[in-house]
Structure 1
Amino acid sequence: MHIDYITPNDWSIIEDGWNPNNVKSSESLMALGNGAMGQRANFEEDYSGATFQGSYIGGVYYPDKTRVGWWKNGYPEYFAKVLNAPSWIGIKVIVNGESLDLHTCKEVKDFRRELDMKAGVLYRSFKAILQNDVEIAVKATRFLSMEMDEVGAIKYEVTPINVDATISYEPYLDSGITNEDSNWDDKFWNTLEVSENDDMAFITAHTMKTEFHVCTMMQNKLFIDGDEITLSRKRSQKTTTYVGHEYETDVTKGDTFAIQKIGGYVSSLNHDKGGLVAVATDVLNKATDLGYDALLASQKEAWAKTWEMSDITIEGDTKAQQGIRFNIFHLNQTYTGQDSRLNIGPKGFTGEKYGGSTYWDTEAYCIPFYMATKDQSVARQLLTYRYNQLDKAIENAQKLGFTNGAALYPMVTMNGEECHNEWEITFEEIHRNGSMVYAIYNYERYTGDTSYIPEMGLEVIIGVARFWRQRATFSKAKNAYVILGVTGPNEYENNVNNNWFTNYIAKWCLEYAFEQAELLRDTAKEDWSRISGKTHLSYDEMLSWRSTAEQMYFPYSEENGVYLQQDGFLDKELITVADLPKSNRPINQKWSWDRILRSPYIKQADTLQGFYFFEDHFTEEQLEKHFDFYEPFTVHESSLSPCVHAIQAAKLGRMDQAYEFYLRTSRLDLDDYNKEVEEGLHITSMAGTWQSVVEGFGGMRVKNDTLSFDTKIPNAWTAYSFKVNFRGQILKVDVSKNETHFTLVSGEGLQIIVNGEKREVLPA
């Protein structure tokens, strides 16, 4: 049974009523980010109940030593982890000598927490009766500035309700923090200095091993009923990892005592590590000169601009509307495209699971969202991230015995080095390598930017092609090239031979590499000379790629008329999910791994992932046959599964099924389908949710350099709309029950295809 305490609302995620069992889940759901840093929605005041503390800085990580039961050659030595960073949000609240702690209060009333997605602001309010019988009303407002991405702001207000009260605030910084997912309970941070300057305070610390230096900062202002007051510090508390400034005053019943706290991080990623306190001082001065109200106003403006382009509207279905905006909101606050050193972790800034690292999800699912809703430079940054890690990809392949510049991109990474420590993933889930090349192809196809491949992309393509050429084995028995010992996208099948998706993307990569290299050789002599010289690429090697591709083996069932997911798939006991007792679900929690591996059950789209990537290689009849064969065995126990199936069900005109998949992907976290939302959100699959509307219901494709649409609408909706930026022209698509309307918001004129017919959209 999934949770159902979030109030349906078009623009907000709302929790009404106090339930301590929801604290960790809401901390994930209402997490904040601005591309450079993020934090779970932890309380500012002390809380002694169950909580998952989490603040994160983009690009700051620690190589936690791998922990495995039995070491194998080729294992990565470290698992890079996003670090729980020093906390700047804390404010101890004491009323008549009693600490405010919702876990120990006599009573909590009118509790409400709201994430305003329209403005990127977190609100919380409640009334509490403390152990000393003082009743107070509390309001807390928090945001991470999208304009000043090193800065966050808090406004915290306490009003005594039943008596006059002496209230003290102790805003603080704390670097004595740990990660919940530490392998060996290592010390991740070393605190160098705790300092203060008037109403400012700083903690300078560095990460162990990776030597990222970070200065955590704060500055505070105090108010009574909206008027700023000056209070001398009652005390300053300092330890080797903590600094707090205590302010105390008498507050008349009904009056409001407020603190405005500006905080955040500056780091050696962007500044000289020796001058971080000076930089932090400048940043705080700039932020406080602007003031809390101006920072909040600029926050609302920044988000209005973001939503102007990326919003999807849905009429007639509040839960669907809330779901899609929730997904779009978290995508936008996780990655902004400002820094090519950063990428999109599966949990974003909402938790520590998966190490916070980069997966193939970025290339397979996320890039389309950023291409269509931002300027193309944002998606180009994601491709640049992988180009900058090509040397590490070559090194990863060398560790496994590959030669001649073959590149194997990691399954999980922070810096390009493989840091996943499960052998069936690290060594075998090699299809991810193909996604690196598919993303380049997809980027050029959509944006029309032909400069990336000669500048950077071809070197990546060559490295990946060399990997596939060496990884394929010629089978005399089959008179074809086979790829042995792999794990496909379906991670419920390990160490299989000839996974169809892996073989198909390998074949495609080899063909694409030949085409792109030959095109450059024939049309851009200077670029060709530079790249072929750097990579020592010969035409004979290119011909070997094409020859391997032409002879690639694919398992096929004549009886069923489908490509088989891998050799031996039909040897399994083919019982569909519909005939599997519900008490057995989810199988990853109820079954042994041995039983899962021998079952026909599919975690996520595998063969169908190939039909999604390479849709135009197959007929609709082939898609239908494969969908009907594989979907009944799919348990959808991956967050990346429902979106692909939603797109394909919509293409096949199965709108009820497509809508069901859409709700599953859009509300995966909001309704906690996987019973794990307290660990963090599924950020990368959120891009798939966007695709399920735009590519699924909107039917958007790029065909022969032209945008094409085949629009459909779920029965539950009365209308929906979205915008896409296609090659610098912004097109708005409005779909209702009776018609589809296209508006060119920006641009000089756009040729599109609608239901197979060419149409020109002119400026409004």
Structure 2
Amino acid sequence: MKKYLKVDPWSIIEEGFVAENHEISESIFSIGNGHMGQRANFEEHYTGQSLQGSYMAGVYYPDKTRVGWWKNGYPEYFAKVLNSTNWIGIDVKVNGETLDLATCTVTDFVRELNMKEGVLRRSFTAELPGGKKVKVASTRFVSMSMKEIGAIKYAVTPVGFDADITFSPYLDGDVKNKDSNYDEKFWDEVSKSNRADQAVLTIKTKKLDFYLTSTMTYAVEVAGTKADVQPELTEKEKFVGHSFQVQAKADQEAVLYKYVSNVTSRDHAVDELASVGAEVLTKAVAAGFDSLLDQQKEAWAAKWKDSDIVIEGDVEAQQGIRFNIFHMNQTYTGEDSRLNIGPKGFTGEKYGGSTYWDTEAYCLPFYLSTADESISRNLLVYRYKHLEKAIENAEKLGFTDGAALYPMVTMNGEECHNEWEITFEEIHRNGAIAYAIYNYTRYTGDYSYLGEYGLEVLAGISRFWAQRVHFSKHQNQYVMLGVTGPNEYENNVNNNWYTNRIAAWTMEYTLDVIAYLKENEGARLDALMAKLNLSDAETAKWQEIIENMYYPADEEKGVFLQQDGFLDKELIPVSELDEKHLPLNQNWSWDRILRSCYIKQADVLQGLYFLNDQYDLETKKRNFDFYEPLTVHESSLSPCVHSILACELGYKEKAYEMYLRTARLDLDNYNNDTEDGLHITSMAGTWMSVVEGFGGKKIEDGTLSLNPFIPGHWQSFSFKIVFRGARLNVQVTPDSINIKNETDVETDLIVSGKEVTVKGNETIQVSLAASAV
């Protein structure tokens, strides 16, 4: 764990430049707006270690799969969100010396990500190799109000001497991905143009033909006065740049304002990219940097109005939760149903930026409770649009008759993951897709989704489960062999409890949806049954499987077994391991991990979290007490589930420990991997830990239920919930629960087991002593 950032409720602050921390900071200080994102690379030339990353949402490349041997069913490619045109670049020379923090002596270094405003600022003093000192200050953001615009204010001040300052702003499309399987560059140049007031670069991917046009312009001031410059124009392969010199007297500030538009063929016709880019850029420049910055602040204020969580009495916890909410809001805005949420978002290349089951299992609750329901609906529609591909994926593995296997990793619905134990065996992801439909409809009350989209997806998934199980004469029940559960530290196991349970639950829920449609949308159901060729005989088979599914369990311990034979392992708690072994994935061989009892993330407990209302408190307690001590939490998705269950069980210290771990996972680099990019999808789990954990939020028969408790050293905490048209501000103190309805929509809810009504714009108070926790 590496802690070097200042604790602050609204900002992430790095004081002092330590090169060894730079790639970690590049991830942590990343910015984005749903359309594009940018790692916190320096604008100026930097020869130190760096992972350059500029990303455009939905633009990806099918990098050829690289494996030691090929197996039937393997995907042909691994999708990668591409490192795109470096639009932030501004090389700087002072009296002919290059500004490079790797070769300068750097003092007074401060890097700040202002999460309230969505702005990245940096300042420092650099002593150049020749002994001269300059002060530098930069301000950068990608606009929330004009999604295709990025803006930079870059200021250089010579300290005690007159200086010739050379600025060289540029656009560089000659980039590559660090994780390219064959060190291939993925972009070709299409065109470029260069003139005194503007530079344009258009590149396209070598496959799939995504086009990106970046257009750059700038303005210059010296000592607050606009400077007219005559730039030298530079052109190279996939590169356009300008270079010009200004004279600044001692202690005078020279400022470059750089504006860039990034437009893609996902949103515009290819032959219109240049004109659209120029038009967008013209509007941005006309507004000016300060006005764009004001719009940025307003846009972020609106997001915080719906999603902020306030914690009083624990600044580390406060900073952690806002950091996670900030990155969720800048990664996905929900405006484009073609997009989804990659595990690293716009902060790094690892995992290819593709869609995983993380979206449905962890991200959906955040958007359900903090945004208009159309945003969550778009996440579900994304999967509906990929249903045919999911059926094709299943067919490649030998499944028939419309059985659907959603991919573990995807961009367009095709599976593009190349590890056999994941691609072929981690099939529980199918259950998360089904659960998301259930979660969405029970939360929003939008049951129209079931007939419009939902049943088709559920039927495809249920068909997969029905074909994936088989009847065991030995067990006299249905079993499922050769799977990998959520705990990826076990591969190719038989009867993973969670996978068996979510499979049976999916079929059960599908039958419930059919019954609902039969009663409420009979004509639509008839049409769907005909379209899907879904018969009563097939649904009867599902019912038979539901009633006869095998679930491994140990009666003596009273726990569900993670898989057949789990008790054959040597059960040594994590607490008895020497810390030198942790994290296991960086210190043990894979063989040793697979044979061990150690659990990467919630597995059985994942099922108890999802299907919470189907198990009593004592069952949850026995399983938690058995499995949590064996869990190393080396998946970012693990601590949040444990925190939520610990809250329900009254394990307050464990709940807080797990919360702080998920909230500060990247800020404190718990798993020693933050330099690869942030754990975006687990950040939603941090929100869940507060709202579903400490806040005790559940949906019971269509009614919002809250059963909160407050960690002992907190003075109070509050969170927002958008529920069926109302926005509730819930504040919890050691003595009371205060609920303010910030809308005109009257809302019924259950608070600490008591039914209450909150009228429009009303505030009510309930004693915390009434809480059942």
TM-score, shorter chain, exceeding 0.5: yes
Distance 1:593 1:19 in 2: 33
| 3-state SS, counterpart of residue 100 of structure 2 | coil
Structure 2 letter corresponding to 1:607: V
Which residue is 1:552 aligned to? 549
What secondary structure is seen at the aligned counterpart in 2 of 1:363? helix
1:165 aligned residue (163, 169, 174): 163
The aligned counterpart of 2:113 is: 115
- The 5-angstrom pairing of residues 481-520 of structure 1 reads 481-520=478-517
Shift of 1:34: 0.2
User: Alignment partner of 1:687: what SS?
Assistant: helix
Alpha carbons 2:196, 2:233 under 8 Å: kept: no
Alignment of 1:262-341 (within 5 A): 262-341=259-338
CA contact (8 A) 1:193 1:240 kept: no
Match runs of 1:282-431 below 5 Å: 282-431=279-428
1:682 is displaced (CA, Å) by: 0.2
Residue 36 of structure 1: aligned partner: 35
Paired AA for residue 579 in structure 1: E
Give me the whole-angstrom Cα distance separating, in 2, the residues matched to 1:583 and 1:26.
25
CA contact (8 A) 1:262 1:284 kept: yes
- Measured in 2, the distance between the counterparts of 1:285 and 1:755 equals 55
On the 8 A contact 2:725/2:745 being kept in 1, the answer is no
Where 1:720 maps in the other structure, the secondary structure is: strand
> Is 1:223 matched up with 2:221?
yes
1:674 partnered with 2:674: no
1:134 is aligned to 2:132: yes
CA distance in 1, matches of 2:142, 2:725: 29
Render the CA deviation track for 1:449-484: whole Å, top value 9, x for unaligned.
111111111110010000000001111111111011
Letter in 2 for 1:154: I
CA distance in 1, matches of 2:575, 2:127: 51
333-342 or 216-225, which deviates more: 216-225
Does the CA-based 8 Å contact 2:157-2:254 persist in structure 1?
yes
Whole-angstrom CA distance in 1 between matches of 2:171 and 2:734: 54
**Partner Cα distance (2:29, 2:185) in 1:** 28
Q: Which moved more, 1:576-585 or 1:613-622?
A: 576-585
- The question of whether the paired residues in 1 share the 8 Å contact of 2:170 and 2:239 is answered with yes
Range that drifts further, 171-180 or 449-458 = 449-458
Deviations 1:235-261, CA, capped at 9 Å, x for gaps:
101112111111212111111110100
| Structure 1 vs Structure 2 CA RMSD | 0.9
Aligned to 1:432: 429
Displacement of 1:209: 1.1
Counterpart in 1 of 2:644? 647
> 3-state SS of the aligned residue for 1:381?
helix
Aligned counterpart, 1:604: 601
State the match for 1:69 in structure 2: 68
Counterpart among 730, 738, 742 of residue 741 in structure 1: 738
C-alpha displacement of 1:132: 2.3
Contact 1:410-1:417 within 8 A present in 2 as well: yes
Whether the aligned pair in 1 keeps the contact of 2:107 and 2:124 (CA below 8 Å) is yes
CA contact (8 A) 1:30 1:41 kept: yes
Q: For residues 726-746 of structure 1, give each alpha carbon's deviation from its aligned partner in whole angstroms, at most 9, with x where no partner exists.
A: 011111100011111111111
Q: Partner residue of 2:258? A: 261
Partner Cα distance (2:499, 2:404) in 1 = 16
CA offset digits 1:332-370 (Å, max 9, x no partner) = 000000101111100000000001111000000000000
CA–CA separation in structure 2 for the residues paired with 1:137 and 1:614: 57
Partner of 2:81 in structure 1? Answer: 82
**8 A Cα contact 1:191 1:206, kept in partner:** yes
Structure-2 residue corresponding to 1:688: 685
1:62/1:82 contact within 8 Å kept? yes
What SS does the corresponding residue of 2:152 show, helix, strand or coil?
A: strand
Offset at residue 522 of structure 1 (A): 3.5
Aligned mates of 1:323, 1:108 — CA distance in 2 = 28
What do the CA deviations read for 1:483-519 (whole angstroms, capped 9, x no partner)?
1100000000100010000000000001111111232
Determine the structure 2 residue equivalent to 1:182.
Answer: 180
C-alpha distance in 2 between matches for 1:495 and 1:555: 16
1:59 matched to which residue of 2?
Answer: 58
Separation in 1 of the partners of 2:28 and 2:185? 28
Q: Distance in 1 between matches of 2:68 and 2:685?
A: 35
Per-residue deviation, residues 269-328 of structure 1 (Å, max 9, x unmatched) = 000012211111111111111111111000000000100110000000000000000000
Distance 1:587 1:23 in 2: 25
3-state SS in 2 of match to 1:259: strand
Q: Hey, what does 2:752 align to over in structure 1?
A: 755
Distance in 1 (CA, whole Å) between partners of 2:348 and 2:215 is: 22
1:634 corresponds to which residue?
631
Unaligned runs of 5+ residues in structure 1 are: none
Q: How does 1:727-738 map to 2 (within 5 A)?
A: 727-738=724-735
**Count of equivalent residues:** 761
Match of 1:124 in 2: 122
Report the Cα offset of residue 584 of structure 1.
1.6
Is 1:725 the counterpart of 2:708 in the alignment? no
Deviations 1:627-669 (CA, angstroms, capped at 9, x unpaired): 0111111111110000000001111111111000000000000
The whole-number CA distance in structure 2 between the counterparts of 1:227 and 1:483 is 73
In structure 1, C-alpha distance between the alignment counterparts of 2:510 and 2:445, rounded to whole Å:
18
| Secondary structure at the counterpart of residue 565 of structure 1 | coil
SS in 2 for 1:477: coil
* Structure 1 residues 386-405: Cα deviation after superposition (integer angstroms, max 9, x where no partner): 01111110000000000001
TM-score, structure 2 normalization: 0.98
Q: Quote how far apart the aligned CAs of 1:550 are.
A: 1.1
Deviation at 1:226, TM superposition (A): 2.5
CA distance in 2 between counterparts of 1:748 and 1:398 reads 48
Q: Following TM superposition, where does structure 1 have runs of at least 4 consecutive aligned residues deviating by more than 6 angstroms?
A: none
Cα shift at 1:197: 4.0
Q: Name the aligned partner's letter for residue 24 of structure 1.
A: E
**Contact persistence 1:115–1:123 (CA under 8 A):** yes
CA contact (8 A) 1:194 1:240 kept: no
Amino acid at match of 1:431: H
Q: Which amino acid aligns with 2:86?
A: S
Counterpart Cα distance in 1 of 2:340 and 2:170: 30
Q: 1:675 deviation in Å?
A: 0.6
1:524 and 2:521 matched: yes
Report the AA paired with residue 716 of structure 2: A
Deviation at 1:543, TM superposition (A): 1.4
Rounded to whole Å, the distance in 1 between the matches of 2:439 and 2:625 is: 27
Query: What secondary structure, in the 3-state scheme, does the structure 2 residue paired with 1:416 have?
Result: coil
Asked if 1 retains the 8 angstrom alpha-carbon contact of 2:344 and 2:353, the reply is yes
Alignment partner, residue 591 of structure 1:
588
CA distance in structure 1 between the aligned counterparts of 2:44 and 2:586, rounded to whole angstroms: 36
CA shift, 1:760, in A, is 1.1
2:194–2:233: 8 Å Cα contact kept in structure 1? no
**TM-fit CA distance, 1:531:** 1.6
> Cα deviations across residues 568-611 of structure 1 (Å, max 9, x unaligned)?
01111111112222222111111111111111111000000000
Question: In 2, Cα distance between the equivalents of 1:702 and 1:144?
Answer: 36
Q: Does 1:563 align with 2:560?
A: yes
1:751 is aligned with what amino acid? D
Q: Secondary structure at the match of 1:746?
A: coil
How far apart, CA to CA, are the structure 1 residues paired with 2:392 and 2:628? 38
> How many angstroms does 1:523 deviate by?
2.6
Q: Supply the distance in 2 between the matched residues of 1:225 and 1:614 (Cα, whole angstroms).
A: 64
* Whole-angstrom CA distance in 2 between matches of 1:568 and 1:46: 57
Contact 2:719 2:729 (8 Å CA) reproduced: yes
Which residue of structure 1 lines up, in the alignment, with residue 659 of structure 2?
662
Counterpart amino acid of residue 639 in structure 1? S
1:415 is aligned with what amino acid?
A: N
